[in-house]
């Protein structure tokens, strides 16, 4: 999966195109890939780091009933909320 990101260098007014993509690399080659990315000045994040960041920024202690969760699932799955009452 690749995502194209356009950003400007801070204070320079120069636009820069960046690609964000996911690569499946054998664990044995991971250190070599990370060294290469560092030498090229690329930003490198592991899947675990992305997951940890998602969990850190997600709401904590949200209280939902099972019925409320199922209403959301139905809304996404079928495009509407079904009333079961």
Q: Is the predicted pLDDT of residue 13 greater than 70, yes or no? A: no
- Full residue range of the structural domain in which residue 44 is found: 25-58
Could you tell me the pTM of the whole model? 0.42
* 9 inside domain: no
Instruction: Give the CB-side neighbour count of residue 84, counting CA atoms within 13 A.
Output: 7
Alpha-carbon dihedral angle through residues 32, 37, 55, 81, given to the nearest 10 degrees: -110
Instruction: Confirm whether 45 is domain-assigned.
Output: yes
Would 49 be classed as within a structural domain?
yes
In tens, the pLDDT along 48-67 reads 888 888 888 888 888 888 89
Could you give the number of structural domains in the chain? Answer: 1
**Does residue 50 form part of some domain?**
yes
């Amino acid at each position: 999966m690749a995502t194209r990101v356009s950003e400007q260098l801070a204070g320079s007014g120069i636009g820069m195109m960046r690609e964000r993509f996911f690569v499946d690399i054998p664990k044995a080659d991971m250190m070599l890939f990370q060294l290469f990315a560092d030498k090229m000045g690329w930003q490198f994040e592991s899947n675990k780091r992305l997951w940890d960041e998602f969990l850190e920024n997600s709401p904590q202690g949200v209280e939902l009933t099972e019925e409320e969760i199922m209403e959301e699932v139905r809304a996404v799955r079928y495009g509407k909320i079904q009333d079961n009452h």
